[in-house]
Amino acid sequence: MTTAPTLQCASCSATYEPDARLSSCACGGRLLVTYDLTSLQHTLKKEQLLGAPPSLWRYKSLLPAEGPPVTLGEGFTPLLPLRSLGPKLGYSDLWLKDDGRNPTASFQARAMSVAITMAKALGATDFAASCSPDAAAALAMYAAAAGLKAHIFVPSNISKANYVAAMAAGAMVTLADGALDFAKVMEPYRIEGEKTIGFEIAEQFAWSLPEAILLPSGAGEVAISKALRELEQLGWIEGKRPKVITIAADNHRANVDAALELARTEGVFVSPEGGACIAALGELLQSGILKASDRVVVLNPSSGFKHIEAYGTRFIRAGGGEQDKLGGLITPR
């Protein structure tokens, strides 16, 4: 493997060979894929992206790929100007990076495409992992595409969309009550898939960076920061890096309200987590963390269509029976 010569611990700087089947360092620290960016700086030019396929694999030289990628066409999701909602919230240059358009309707498609590609290259035949709902659906689909078996443990309140998708892909799914300690499936390589969000934002703005990127907690903050560092080292971007601001999705009613306002004004149906970022924009402006003139990108991690249970109780069909109450579809069977 030439593009990913080492895995390096972010805590103690220990290094490992890229074919090590490790999710973390011996010290417990996070492992990151490192590249010989000094050499790539002389051979890899951003102009080479012209005509590249519109997927995250257009950045293959900056990804740990060995052999053909396991791909369903993930990545290069749209970057949409919020021309109506932006001014309403006090922003003149507000954008939405909609990762709900990915093959499995969430940003986890990026993570699993790269992770499963590497797992298959390293000889894996089975996966066993506890996963967040969106990750479970993505893991199941990409494992199926790679011809691998997946054994997945998920919370019992998993959305019906994610449960059905995982089952449809042939995964063995176990519902678990209580909090799960979510395993980081092929952690170093999962991050590499997620970082392509940062690559795409930079490229879609013609390598002129926004002032801020907002994303829900757990939706790739480490990966996006890594992407920006790598682009800077390559000399593809310069100047001040964007603020990468993570938003906790804890006020569920406010998040749904903000997501529905986005749907009404822009015609885009986002997840409640994406709604949380929209809901936070007013406070960020009032506090001075962001300015009205800042170019701000909000990341929507998954499609609103995967969260019908969250929205369904707001829209009960008149005259219907219990089967018409969308909010009642809670427990997978």
Among all chains, which residue has been given the structure tokens 């004004």?
265
Please tell me the predicted confidence (pLDDT) of residue 318: 78
Determine the Cα angle at 196 with ends 191 and 198, to 5°: 105
**142 domain-assigned:** no
**Range of 256's domain?**
71-104+190-311
What one-letter code names the amino acid at 39? S
Strands 295-300 and 212-216: parallel
**91 domain-assigned:** yes
Q: Tell me which residue of 237, 285, 249 sits closest to 93, measured CA to CA.
A: 285
What one-letter code names the amino acid at 26? A
- What pLDDT, in 10s, does the model give residues 225-254? 999 999 999 999 999 999 999 999 887 788
**137 domain-assigned:** no
Please tell me the predicted confidence (pLDDT) of residue 328: 46
**5 domain-assigned:** no
Please tell me the predicted confidence (pLDDT) of residue 187: 80
Residue 196, CA distances (Å) to 192, 227, 297 in order: 7, 7, 15
**Domain count of the chain?**
1
Please tell me the predicted confidence (pLDDT) of residue 293: 98
Please report, for the domain that includes residue 85, its CATH number.
3.40.50.1100
**205 domain-assigned:** yes
Please tell me the predicted confidence (pLDDT) of residue 324: 52
**216 domain-assigned:** yes
Residues of the chain with pLDDT under 70: 1-5, 178-184, 319-333
Q: What is the 3-state secondary structure (H, E, C) of the chain?
A: CCCCCEEEECCCCCEECCCCCCCECCCCCEEEEECCHHHHHHHCCHHHHCCCCCCHHHHHHHCCCCCCCCCCCCCCCCEEECCCHHHHHCCCEEEEEEHHHCCCCECHHHHHHHHHHHHHHCCCCEEEEECCHHHHHHHHHHHHHHCCEEEEEEECCCCHHHHHHHHHCCCEEEEECCCCCCCCCCHHHHHHHHCHHHHHHHHHCCCCCCCEEEEECCCCHHHHHHHHHHHHHHCCCCCCCCEEEEECCCCHHHHHHHHHHHHHHHCCCECHHHHHHHHHHHHHHHCCCCCCCCEEEEEECEEHHHHHHHHHCCCCCCCCCHHHCHHHCCCCC
Burial of 314 (0-12, 13-18, 19+ CB in 10 A): exposed
Please tell me the predicted confidence (pLDDT) of residue 147: 96
Burial of 240 (0-12, 13-18, 19+ CB in 10 A): exposed
246 touches 276 (CB < 8 A): no
